[in-house]
Structure 1
């Protein structure tokens, strides 16, 4: 398999409300729109809000968004009416994480990678 591009698709119960959440509340940039859907930039990936779902969200699926400054992001979201489902904390694996949810309850993990974390280590030979 030779994957050239990818995106996560979500099928919300209320497409207008969910699209507005990702566009206006989280402030994600729009990659493209089409009848019945919107595709958002999510850093190195895409999130497509498309169609209308009937089953609802699953606790087995989460979106993971790395942010530059977790505290500032949570403050900005609070000003837009978003309260975290779980406040920021340092996880045992060394990442600072908080959790919010979209209108359907899809869990969104907001992550800041501390400067001294191995994910920031330059592994190229010196």
Structure 2
């Protein structure tokens, strides 16, 4: 199988509220809109908010969003009224993480990869 493109699909109970959150609160850029939905750029991926769902989010689904500076991102979001589910912490695996949720309860982990973390190490050698 050759995958040419992909995106995460969210089917919120209140699509307008969720679209406003991702567009206005998180400030995600819009890739495209269509009747009944909006697709946002999500780093190297896409996030589509469309349709109408019921029953709330799956507890095992989490959006992982890498940010350049976690402290700046948290301050910016708090300034927009976002309440943190968990304060920024340095995790045992070396990433700095903070947790928030969208209006539907979808959990979002905000991640900063420190400069000395192996994910940022050039493994090509000297």
- Normalized against structure 1, the TM-score is what? 0.98
Shift of 1:125: 3.5
User: Distance in 2 between the 1:83 and 1:41 partners?
Assistant: 23
1:17-54: CA deviations, max 9, x gaps?
00000000000000000001000001100000010101
Is residue 108 from structure 1 mapped to residue 108 from structure 2 by the alignment? yes
RMSD, aligned α-carbons: 0.6
CA distance in 2, matches of 1:20, 1:93: 33
Task: Name the residue aligned to 1:42.
Answer: 42
- The alpha carbon displacement at 1:72 in A equals 0.4
The answer for unaligned runs of 5 or more in structure 1 is none
What residue number does 2:33 align with? 33
Whole-Å separation in 2 of the counterparts to 1:99 and 1:86: 5
- Once the two structures are TM-superposed, the CA of residue 123 in structure 1 deviates from its matched residue by 1.2
- 5+ residue gaps, structure 2: none
Aligned residues: 126
Which SS does the other structure have where 1:31 is aligned?
strand
**1:111 aligns to what SS in structure 2?**
strand
Once structures 1 and 2 are overlaid, which stretch shifts more, 51-60 or 10-19? 51-60
Matched position secondary structure for 2:87: strand
What do the CA deviations read for 1:46-104 (whole angstroms, capped 9, x no partner)? Answer: 00001010121011000000000000000000110001100000011000000000000
Distance 2:12 2:123 in 1: 40
**When the two structures are superposed, what TM-score results if normalisation uses the length of structure 2?**
0.98
